[in-house]
Structure 1
Amino acid sequence: MSDIQNFKPVQKYETFSYLPEMNADQVRRQIEYTIAQGWNPAVEYSEKEHAMSNYWYMWKLPMFGEQSVEAVLSEIEQCRRANPGMMVRFLAYDNYAQSQGTAFVVDRGR
């Protein structure tokens, strides 16, 4: 019995949360993909203890029609600096399906 491990639940958030944390290049490629799909990027943030809530704080308005990956990455970085210790996630809204196309945490707020 000594080789049986205890199950320790790990908090999982949004798309990709069961994978290892993405590096900067992988985040960039996901943002490039969403822009190529014609989706509208947005950034949200939340305290860790409220991260499982459906409601995160919106960082500015969604970036409707944004075509620049650099502009989106800049907004993510501004959100990180303005809200240290908070979790930050990237979202992309699909106009056609009228829903979120993707959402994933880019900073777990260490």
Structure 2
Amino acid sequence: MQDYHSRLSDPASRKFETFSYLPAMSQEEIRKQVAYIVGKGWNPAIEHTEPQYLMDSYWYMWKLPMFGETDIDRILAEAEACHKANPDNHVRLIGYDNFSQSQGASMVIYRGKTV
């Protein structure tokens, strides 16, 4: 077992969600994750928050969830628009599962500046 040395006192060390323990995803890997969400029939949504509030349970929703959206390029364009509008914030992609009424996927795809 490995200790990742993630500490609240060290913002640069904080881990969030499963993929944060792996190297940052490339644009192609993010695209594959969006394709997975769309392929499962989940509704994509974009959220963002300031790095200092990362551990809070509330993130700001970027527009409404994209109900029924299957165009991967359109979903990625919304994520990019959120990132450009909030360049210092963390931006995450969520896939909402209608049937289980929960998040089927959630991952940070843009990391904000750490303090």
TM-score, with structure 1 as normaliser: 0.90
Structure 1 segments of 4 or more deviating over 2 A? 7-10
1:93 equivalenced with 2:96 (yes/no): yes
- Partner letter of residue 44 of structure 2? P
Q: SS of 1:16's equivalent? A: helix
Note the C-alpha offset of 1:96. 1.0
Counting helix residues as a fraction of each chain, which structure ranks higher?
2
- Partner letter of residue 46 of structure 2? V
| 1:52-75 deviation digits (Å, cap 9, x = unpaired) | 111100000000000100010000
TM-score, with structure 2 as normaliser: 0.87
- Partner letter of residue 90 of structure 2? M
Q: SS of 2:81's equivalent? A: helix
1:16 equivalenced with 2:51 (yes/no): no
Q: SS of 1:84's equivalent? A: coil
The percentage of counterpart residues that share the same residue type is 49
Counterpart-to-counterpart distance in 1, 2:70 and 2:45? 12
Name 1:4's counterpart in structure 2: none
Pick which of 13-22 and 29-38 moved more.
13-22
Name 1:35's counterpart in structure 2: 38
Counterpart-to-counterpart distance in 2, 1:100 and 1:42? 10
Larger gyration radius, structure 1 or structure 2? 1
Note the C-alpha offset of 1:15. 2.7
Name 1:78's counterpart in structure 2: 81
* Counterpart contact for 1:79–1:88, Cα < 8 Å: yes
RMSD over equivalenced CA pairs, Å: 1.1
Counterpart-to-counterpart distance in 1, 2:103 and 2:60? 16
Counterpart-to-counterpart distance in 1, 2:80 and 2:19? 20
Unaligned regions of 5+ residues in structure 1, if any? 1-6
- Partner letter of residue 76 of structure 2? L
